Structure 1
Amino acid sequence: MKKIKQMRLGILNVAFLSAFGVYSQSSLADTLFVHANAYTLNVKQQLQQFDAMLINDAGKVLATGTQVQLQKKFPKATIVDLGGKTVLPGLIDAHGHVFGLGTAESRLSLRATNNLAEALAAISQYAQASTQRQWILGGEWNQAIWKLGRFPTAAELDSAISNRPAWFRRVDGHAGWANSKAMQLAGITKATPDPAGGKIERDANGEATGILVDAAMDIMEKVIPPQNDAEMRSALDAALAQLRSVGLTSVHDAGVGMHADKLFREYAKDGKLTTRVYGMISGVDQFFDQVSAAGPLKSFADDRYALRAVKLYSDGALGSRGAALLAPYSDAPHTKGLLFSPDKDMRSMVQKAAAKGYQVNVHAIGDAGNRQVIDALATIPQAQNAQVLRHRIEHAQVLELSDIPRVAKLHIIPSMQPTHATSDMNMAEDRVGNERIKGAYAWRSFLKQGSKIPCGSDFPIESPNPFWGIYSAVTRQDHQQMPVNGWHPEQAMTVQEAFRCFTLDAAYAGHQEKILGSLEKGKWGDFIVIDQDIFKIPAKDIYKTSVLQTWQAGKQVYVK
């Protein structure tokens, strides 16, 4: 019997298919992974188990089955022993921000702060330790966690840092907190009008308080020095390291600009894109006009990169009350939130993108925002509609109950993030009340009508760890197992459903179900090795799952 190879050995060059498409049993290059507790879903979405898998040098799965069967059929294959550990197809995050994730590592996170005083102390300490930084930047604050009952102010931020501009984006990315120096540099005064799709928070005298919501953030971010090429490369390297360490072999990047596209192509071509990227172009403006001349980039560099979708926005976020609601907020009856664009402009944007053959993925949180998107997607000609191009609503967070069936009827894909529910449960029902909450984070309602739900995290707003997402989808609890029975548990998923959402359904949402999402013959050999069997352990322990190894196209890209 062939000597068992150590797991960390590099895989030898492998032979491939014969001229007739028959795999050569005499090949010295095939790699046989054995002694695995492996799971995958098949084309019928049935869960299957196997203990051995053969991958060729091109990185494609040739066969799965029992070790005895495959060793007999492929006696000359190089063997890699996986030590009896649980093996899953590489997981897919259907909504994240790659450069945002990498950039966040070099900025101050306020996520762990429990109150405003802690946040200000952290900011002061960070500023004192970062004397070389022209701007003090960070984010992930949440006034709901701080139990402020209001937004923080520029004056409060000034108490921590006043001699340099400071800017901190809220945890949902849809509001920002500036100090007075930053407000001065951005030219924001009492006379500055609210931009379309945005809001400048003001005090009783009409003075700007330091909080900018949604499109108003652009006023500030235009004066922040942009990242240079070296900083962007550093951010991409940091993001990729984090993504492969949590078992994400593919992500859908929800907002790709010109510089990001250039780096993704370069990294993919050079084999450095260790997590595959399915890109969504930011908007339908100048960069879209330029890149769409050649049509959607469906595959690049062995499917490491694709750019065949467009990302648009209908509204803001629930936490900052920027999400557009059909009726006023239950806890702020003076506002219904904000639509970023008039209905006719939304229709024009989705039609423009679809006419060029692009999938259209629109951010929508509130029920008014979701309705606007559904109405707009309904106007697309049949040849470019959601059944053909698989258009998506990103988040699909709060829908009027009558609109949920329309999503299925129009074949729209609800792309959702389970950890948003467990992060938002401390304020969501306050925002929308106990009736509208029935159409919020409504995973079971979508699954029941046959909708595919590609799951993601919206990193860096949430952790990119997909096991946190699976845990939230199944338990609808925080990591302290609260609330006891889960938050609106009637909308929870099973473990197998959540697993499907992070694999086959996410692959389908990127037109990639024939090459990714499961470990089946002919698909890429993207897989992970983890430290526990998520299908057998108590649900409460799923989020504790640790990734031991990550493999892309049959090559190891991460080992713990």
Structure 2
Amino acid sequence: MEKKKDTLYVNGEFLKDGSDFKTGYVSVRDGKIHEMGNMCELDFKGNDSEVIDLKGKFVYPGFTDSHLHLIAYSQEKLNEVDLSDAASREDIVEKTKKFISERGIKPGEWVIGTGWNHEKFSDKSLPDRQLLDEISDENPICIKRVCHHICSVNSLALSVAGIDRETESPDGGSLDVDSNGELTGVLRENAMDFITDILPSMEVASKLRELIARGCDEFVKKGLTTVHSDDFFFVEDKKMLWDVFRDMAENEKLPLRVVLQLRASKVEDIKRYAEMGLKSWDRIGKLSVGPIKIIADGSLGSRTAALEEPYCDDKTCNGIMVASQEKLDELVYESFINDFDVCAHAIGDRSINAVLGAFRKNYGLYKNKGLRPSIIHCQITSQSILDNFKELDVIANIQPLFLNSDWKIAESRIGRKRMEYSYCWKKFMDGGVMCAGSSDSPVEDFAPLYGIYAAVSRMDLEGSPAGGWFPEEKLDVSRAIDLFTKNEAYLSHEEDIKGVIKMGNYADFTVLSHNIFEVENEEIKEVEVIHTIVNGRMVQ
């Protein structure tokens, strides 16, 4: 068998572990950094490596997104109405009617839309069934808010789902009604299951393969070399989806590394993953089995994030616990006992305290097994919450770009006092809490440079507010890069093999046009991704 040639990346500015760059080369063998040094040390004579000239561009450890939704992103881009720029209820009607016409959707077929945000509307009112009935009475319609924690449906969709005014709201969810007790068509949290359970099935391997490939191709264009993806809520047949991912990994059809977050809403889900032979942090090529993913509450924008005290702009509401303390305790224990790590969605302080409580009850169990539980989002906190993160060695999986939307609404939702410990990433890190960075795409853009920009500038993508939102929480560039590189490597138990550029590590690099330590913070989002290199192979 012919010996496979090494790959030699030369004339690069390689980031050392810190903020300094070193001009030189990296030799890649079997997907790992085999050798590295200064250009003057490189002897090209007799060297039969494939040589790739990086032309003085800046080479960073490969960027990672520690939480997104790969299949949901692709599904929305390919098959759903994009409502992300809808500025009014009328826009929703116009865009959805246009979608039905252009796609030639037949009577009886479902119409799905995603991305609306009622905070952009002048009256801040939620789209309801009367509005969606204007679009069609022949097609069931479901449109999801940008946070994916509320959906609105038309009358036909309610009928198809068998929902009427006698239907009771499920635990951890609600069916909104008006002052007359009539359904508004707005469903929150677990009540959305009435609709999602009857939507056209995704259980087609070829379609899932297409969606996975589409998403991966988009991710590498923005410089991502690893993504942690929550996809198993899309399918009933979890083994089928696992088989698709595994087949793509075994046949080298994944251009970047994928860590699978295993969604579970009941103990039977965890047992099913165990029966499939899965165990957190097992790897097949570029594919890794990640943690069990648990949902504890909703979102701030939809007022379903579970708070200890009521919302300031709705004193009757303090959010929704999607899973009770008893359920959280049960899911966390079953995960750990079956050798799964855990990541839990929790935004409000009430839900975060509940998840931390479940972790505390199982502290000895997960520490003895060497597991590293995490909480995703952790937006509304307190000093005691930060102390408990540190004490229990819980990782905070944060989304800096969330401020792109939330800075305009957060203070009105929770008040100035609670803002002191909200979106407080610097307090987390200063307190010794390990933080990893992500986007929650398609909720926000997955471009890691946008996340780094938001972390250091505390501004949205339009450059507001001037000077940054609660600027005392700005991170320096080095810490912001760590969120998307070395800290993620720790989250995925790979700190000995990735996250920094050094001998023996994976040859995963993100090559940028500029040194982002030197450009103005506000300009980081404009820096260009030149190449994405995964396992030593240039994929972008």
Which residue pairs with 2:52 in the alignment? 80
For 1:88, the aligned partner's letter is: Y
Task: Tell me the CA shift for residue 78 of structure 1.
Answer: 3.3
> CA separation of 1:321/1:450 partners in 2, compared to 1, >3 Å: closer, same or farther?
same
CA contact (8 A) 2:532 2:538 kept: yes
Aligned to 2:101, the other structure's residue is in SS state helix
1:296 corresponds to which of 273, 279, 283: 279
Task: Tell me the CA shift for residue 31 of structure 1.
Answer: 2.1
Which residue pairs with 1:147 in the alignment? 122
1:508 corresponds to which of 474, 490, 497: 490
TM-score if structure 2 supplies the norm length? 0.94
- Decide which moves more: 314-323 or 143-152: 143-152
Which residue pairs with 2:332 in the alignment? 350
- Decide which moves more: 77-86 or 97-106: 77-86
Distance 2:369 2:42 in 1: 39
CA contact (8 A) 1:311 1:363 kept: yes
Deviations 1:157-207 (A, max 9, x none): 221233201111110111111111111111121111111100111111111
Which residue pairs with 1:388 in the alignment? 370
Which residue pairs with 2:94 in the alignment? 121
Task: Tell me the CA shift for residue 65 of structure 1.
Answer: 2.5
Where structure 2 has 5 or more consecutive residues not aligned to the other structure, the ranges are 233-237
Which residue pairs with 1:472 in the alignment? 454
Aligned to 1:196, the other structure's residue is in SS state coil
Which residue pairs with 1:269 in the alignment? 250
Which residue pairs with 2:31 in the alignment? 59
- Decide which moves more: 209-218 or 400-409: 400-409
CA contact (8 A) 2:274 2:338 kept: yes
CA contact (8 A) 1:268 1:300 kept: no
Distance 1:192 1:307 in 2: 38
CA contact (8 A) 2:270 2:334 kept: no
Distance 1:386 1:167 in 2: 45
CA contact (8 A) 1:385 1:391 kept: no
Aligned to 2:436, the other structure's residue is in SS state coil
For these two proteins, the number of residue pairs brought into alignment is 529
Deviations 1:334-356 (A, max 9, x none): 11111112212211110110111
Task: Tell me the CA shift for residue 297 of structure 1.
Answer: 4.9
Which residue pairs with 1:448 in the alignment? 430
Aligned to 1:51, the other structure's residue is in SS state strand
2:170 corresponds to which of 181, 185, 195: 195
Distance 1:385 1:489 in 2: 36
Task: Tell me the CA shift for residue 131 of structure 1.
Answer: 2.1
CA contact (8 A) 1:90 1:249 kept: yes
Distance 1:255 1:131 in 2: 28
Where structure 1 has 5 or more consecutive residues not aligned to the other structure, the ranges are 1-12, 16-28
For 1:261, the aligned partner's letter is: W
The yes-or-no answer on 1:243 pairing with 2:226 is no
Task: Tell me the CA shift for residue 290 of structure 1.
Answer: 2.8
For 1:152, the aligned partner's letter is: P
Which residue pairs with 1:35 in the alignment? 11
For 2:151, the aligned partner's letter is: G
Task: Tell me the CA shift for residue 406 of structure 1.
Answer: 1.0
2:360 corresponds to which of 371, 378, 388: 378
Residues 396-415 of structure 1: pairs in structure 2 closer than 5 A: 396-415=378-397
Deviations 1:376-408 (A, max 9, x none): 100004141399311001111111332111111
For 1:238, the aligned partner's letter is: R
Deviations 1:80-130 (A, max 9, x none): 111111221210000011111111111111111222222221111111112
Distance 2:209 2:183 in 1: 36
Aligned to 2:523, the other structure's residue is in SS state helix
Task: Tell me the CA shift for residue 550 of structure 1.
Answer: 1.3
For 2:489, the aligned partner's letter is: A
Distance 1:132 1:110 in 2: 18
1:282 corresponds to which of 263, 288, 308: 263
Which residue pairs with 1:99 in the alignment? 71
CA contact (8 A) 1:123 1:161 kept: no
- Decide which moves more: 145-154 or 453-462: 145-154
Distance 1:262 1:147 in 2: 47
Distance 2:77 2:333 in 1: 37
Task: Tell me the CA shift for residue 138 of structure 1.
Answer: 1.6
> CA separation of 1:404/1:66 partners in 2, compared to 1, >3 Å: closer, same or farther?
same
Task: Tell me the CA shift for residue 479 of structure 1.
Answer: 2.0
Which residue pairs with 2:186 in the alignment? 211
CA contact (8 A) 1:387 1:411 kept: no
Distance 1:462 1:386 in 2: 36
Distance 1:74 1:384 in 2: 52
CA contact (8 A) 1:249 1:527 kept: yes
Which residue pairs with 2:196 in the alignment? 221
Which residue pairs with 1:20 in the alignment? none
Task: Tell me the CA shift for residue 518 of structure 1.
Answer: 1.7
Deviations 1:318-370 (A, max 9, x none): 11111111111100001111111221221111011011121111100111000
> CA separation of 1:262/1:295 partners in 2, compared to 1, >3 Å: closer, same or farther?
closer
Aligned to 1:439, the other structure's residue is in SS state coil
CA contact (8 A) 2:267 2:334 kept: no
CA contact (8 A) 1:296 1:357 kept: yes
The yes-or-no answer on 1:230 pairing with 2:230 is no
Distance 1:395 1:315 in 2: 11
TM-score if structure 1 supplies the norm length? 0.91
Distance 1:386 1:192 in 2: 46
Which residue pairs with 1:432 in the alignment? 414
CA RMSD of aligned residues (A): 1.9
Distance 2:441 2:269 in 1: 24
Aligned to 2:423, the other structure's residue is in SS state coil
Residues 300-315 of structure 1: pairs in structure 2 closer than 5 A: 300-302=283-285, 304-315=286-297
Which residue pairs with 1:6 in the alignment? none
1:334 corresponds to which of 297, 301, 316: 316
Task: Tell me the CA shift for residue 458 of structure 1.
Answer: 0.3
CA contact (8 A) 1:397 1:440 kept: yes
Task: Tell me the CA shift for residue 537 of structure 1.
Answer: 1.1
Aligned to 1:112, the other structure's residue is in SS state coil
Which residue pairs with 2:235 in the alignment? none
2:441 corresponds to which of 453, 456, 459: 459
2:478 corresponds to which of 480, 486, 496: 496
Distance 2:429 2:220 in 1: 29
Using the aligned pairs only, state the percent identity.
28
Distance 1:74 1:439 in 2: 60
For 2:83, the aligned partner's letter is: L
For 1:97, the aligned partner's letter is: H
CA contact (8 A) 2:379 2:423 kept: yes
CA contact (8 A) 1:295 1:356 kept: no
Which residue pairs with 1:71 in the alignment? 43
Distance 1:249 1:14 in 2: 26
Distance 2:9 2:462 in 1: 37
